[in-house]
Structure formats: structure tokens, C-alpha cells
Amino acid sequence: MKKTFAIVSALLIACMITAVFAGCAETPATTTAADTKKPADETTAAETTAAETTAEAVTTAAETEAETTEEVTTEPETTEAEPQGDVFEIGSREELFAFADKVLNGEAEYEDMTIRLTADIDLDPTLDGGKNWVPLSSDGLDYIVFDGNGHVINGMTIMPEDLEVAGNDGKIYGSGFFGVTTTSIAIKNLTFTNAHIVSDTKHCGCVIGSAEQMGSLVELDNVTVSGLTLNGGVGVVGDTTGISFRVGGLIGANIAGAEIDVRNCTVQNSKIFGFHNISGLVGCTTDGMFTFENNTVKGLELNYSAGYAANEKYHVTEDIRYFADPFYCINDHWGEYHTDVDKESGNTLENLDSYDVAFDIHYKDEEGKNADNPGREEDGVIYFPAVGGSTIRPKDER
């Protein structure tokens, strides 16, 4: 029994030892599982980092919002239109003045662009913030298209002191929305209403005063001038100081070799005064350097006063009656009456009064200007207009 008891006891002790060792073997597994839980100090650090990140994001967002709010609040409103690709849009009087200032200050960078109006613009200087218009030059505006986009420029006012473009030995000349063009330019889909221009120098028109670049192309398409008063003066006997000559409803003069193309334009209900070469569309142009198609002049008063000049060539009524024309005068062939030719190109005239101020003669719708026999006979000799050495051609050669 004792022996048996001893054996059993030994076995029990062995089992206990085995159980103890088995328990010790399980302890590492339990520890490893515990190790997968983050220690208290590590968890606190992670949570702190997350909290800091969140706070930082909130602070950054708040600062960003504050900066954005500050920019919106402090940024001044601009009165200058911004380029839209190859199109520069102008939608207010302030934007138009800002554009003009850049051009006049030599800061224009609009070559090959379209300048487009997006609204009607009132340039009446009597309005709050209004002022006279200073005629533009086309410097910096090479090959641009000025597209009125069907809109109206009203009340443009130009006085002699507003001219800044110099030429011809320092004499200022060229009065109009564009005073002088020295590059190719196109103006279209634009209406001028109630413009008021006073000019005491040569070359004046509502749209362009003078086209001055040989070989350039000046195009006007679908341009209307209505209610224009263009006062180039009429002078007095023996004194023509401070009056304007080569004056037109659209363009004053093209005598420097530019090509002008005038189509689908209208000049109506307007009064135009000047010394000589007064016309509804273009005051004077070089022969062969023009196209006039489908234009209309109506309700115009063309008043000229060449008979006041000291030069005796201007003292013959039969000669100077051609100084006013419904559409244009020709520089090289002064005294030509070519209205029949113009009508064949779709140009029309209605209710036109050409008034010779010096001789107090009205020519209603050009009646009395006989193109087939424009000269005067004196002692059996026919004299034709020859001012400035120009000539007149037979009608079938025009």
C-alpha cells in the first residue's frame, strides 16, 4: 500500500508540476494579446496628435476664411474691362474711359484683338462723372476690330482743346472718336447718337478724323451716325482762321493712301459745317482708294463757305458748288459730281440740303450740280474747277 501510495503521490506531484508548466506556457500568449493594446501613455500621445491636427485644421480654415473675407472687403472695384481671350469687352462709360486712357498713354496692347461693347454707353459730359471725349489714335491697336455689338454710344462731345494728336509741323488735326488711324482697323455694328463736335482744324468726322497710313485698310460696316452736330465753322469774308475742312459724317479725310471700305452705313438727321469738301460719308478721299456700297444719307445739312477764301479760285460759284457732296469728294479730281455712279452701288440719298454760305445758295438733293457740264464759260473759253491743280474727268471715265 505504501508503495502504491508513493506511486500515486508521485504521479499527482508530476501532474501538478506539469499543470504549472502548462500554465507558464500560456502566460506569454496572454501577454502578447495584452501587448496589442496601446499603452496608456502611447494612446494619450496619439489622441493628443489627432486633437492637435484637428485644432490646426480648424485654425487654418478660420485663418483662410479670415484672409478671404479680408480680400473681398479690401479689394477696390475696378473700372477697367478685362480681356476675354482675343476679345476685350467694355460694358460701361468708366471702362471705355479706362480703355481710352491706356491707348492715349501708349499702354495699349490690343493688337489683333476684338474690342467689343456689351452695353450702350452714354458719354454726355453733363452727366455725373462725365467729361469730353479725347480722340483716340490707333497706335497699339493694330488690326483690331472695334465691334459695337449693336450698341449705342450717345452724347460724345469733342472740343478743339480735347485734341492731342499732332501732325503737319506740329499742327493738331484729326477729330472724331478715332482722331487719326495709322494702321488697318475695322469698325462695325455701332451707332453714334447726338454727338457734338467743334473743330477748328482740318479732317473731322464722327467716327474717324483722318486715315493717315498708306496701304492700310480702314473698314466701316453697319455704322450709323444720327443727330450729329459737327461744327467746323464757316468763317467770314476774307478770314477763314480756325475753321475745319475735309469734313464728313463718318470720316473726315483719306488722302494719305489708305484704302477705305464703307458698307451698309447710315448718316442721318445731322448738321455738318466746314470750309470745303463737306460730305455725308467721307469729306475727301484719294481717287481709287475707296469702296462705297449700300450706304444711306438722309436729312442732312451740309454747309460750306469756301467762297470766303482769299484765293480767287474759290470765288466762282460754278466751281465751288461741288465742295459739298452727299457721299464723298475726291481729292485728285476736285469738282466731280458722281452721285449717279454711287447710286449704282446701292447708295441712296434723301432730303439733303447743300448750302453755300458765302454765296447764299441752297442745292436741294444736289439739284443744280450738272456733272456733264460743270465748267463755266467766259469769253468763249470753258473753265473747269482746278483748285490745287486737280482736274475733272468726263462722266464716262469715272
Q: How far is 387 from 320, CA to CA, in rounded Å? A: 9
Neighbouring residues of 213: CB distance < 8 A, sequence distance ≥ 6: 181, 182, 183, 184, 256, 257, 258
Give me the pLDDT at residue 316, please: 78
Residue range 248-296, pLDDT digits in tens = 999 999 998 899 999 999 999 999 999 999 999 999 999 889 999 999 9
Instruction: Identify whether residues 302 and 387 lie together within a single domain.
Output: yes
Q: With bands split at pLDDT 50, 70 and 90, how would you rate the model's confidence at 87?
A: very high
More confident residue, 298 or 331: 298
Asked if residue 245 belongs to a domain, the reply is: yes
Residue with cell 461741288: 322
Domain count, the chain: 2
Selection from 91, 105, 92, 111 nearest residue 134 by Cα: 105
Q: Is the pLDDT of residue 109 over 90?
A: no
Cβ(232)–Cβ(173) under 8 Å? no
Question: What is the rounded average pLDDT for all residues in the chain?
Answer: 78
Q: Give me 276's grid cell.
A: 470745303
Asked if residue 131 belongs to a domain, the reply is: yes
Instruction: Identify whether residues 28 and 153 lie together within a single domain.
Output: no
Instruction: Identify whether residues 219 and 316 lie together within a single domain.
Output: yes
β-pairing verdict for 136-137 and 178-181: parallel
Instruction: Identify whether residues 57 and 136 lie together within a single domain.
Output: no
Instruction: Identify whether residues 204 and 345 lie together within a single domain.
Output: yes
Give me the pLDDT at residue 104, please: 87
Cβ(84)–Cβ(94) under 8 Å? no
Residue with cell 486715315: 211
Q: Where among 13, 42, 74 does a domain terminate?
A: 74
**Secondary structure (DSSP) of 305-338:** -GGGSSSGGG--HHHHGGGEESSEEESSSTT---
Buried b (16+ CB within 10 A) or exposed e, 12-45: eeeeeeeeeeeeeeeeeeeeeeeeeeeeeeeeee
Buried b (16+ CB within 10 A) or exposed e, 104-128: beeebebeebbbbbeebbbbeeeee
Q: Is the pLDDT of residue 244 over 70?
A: yes
More confident residue, 90 or 54: 90
Q: Give me 3's grid cell.
A: 508503495
Q: What CATH code is carried by the domain that includes residue 318?
A: 2.160.20
Instruction: Identify whether residues 156 and 13 lie together within a single domain.
Output: no
Q: 253: burial class by Cβ within 10 Å (0-12, 13-18, 19+)?
A: buried
* % of the chain at pLDDT higher than 90: 47
Domain containing 281 equals: 84-397
Q: Is the pLDDT of residue 354 over 60?
A: yes
Instruction: Identify whether residues 115 and 50 lie together within a single domain.
Output: no
Q: Where among 45, 74, 103 does a domain terminate?
A: 74
Asked if residue 79 belongs to a domain, the reply is: no
Q: Give me 76's grid cell.
A: 477696390
The arithmetic mean of pLDDT across residues 52-76, rounded, is 42
Q: Give me 31's grid cell.
A: 501577454
CA 218 to chain centroid: 14
Asked if residue 167 belongs to a domain, the reply is: yes
Instruction: Identify whether residues 19 and 136 lie together within a single domain.
Output: no
Instruction: Identify whether residues 165 and 89 lie together within a single domain.
Output: yes
Q: Is the pLDDT of residue 77 over 70?
A: no
Check: pTM over 0.85? Answer yes or no: no
The arithmetic mean of pLDDT across residues 330-342, rounded, is 77
Alpha carbons within 13 A on the beta-carbon side of 11: 6
More confident residue, 107 or 338: 107
Q: Where among 39, 54, 74 does a domain terminate?
A: 74
Roughly how many angstroms between the first and final C-alpha of the chain, as a whole number? 158
CA 51 to chain centroid: 59
Count other C-beta atoms under 10 Å from residue 333's C-beta.
Answer: 17
Highest-confidence segment of 201-205, 240-244, 261-265, 325-329:
261-265
Instruction: Identify whether residues 191 and 249 lie together within a single domain.
Output: yes
Residue range 143-189, pLDDT digits in tens = 999 999 999 999 999 998 887 654 444 556 789 999 999 899 999 99
Instruction: Identify whether residues 191 and 52 lie together within a single domain.
Output: no
Asked if residue 154 belongs to a domain, the reply is: yes
Q: Is the pLDDT of residue 79 over 60?
A: no
Residue range 8-38, pLDDT digits in tens = 444 444 444 444 444 434 433 333 333 333 3
Instruction: Identify whether residues 99 and 221 lie together within a single domain.
Output: yes
Asked if residue 348 belongs to a domain, the reply is: yes
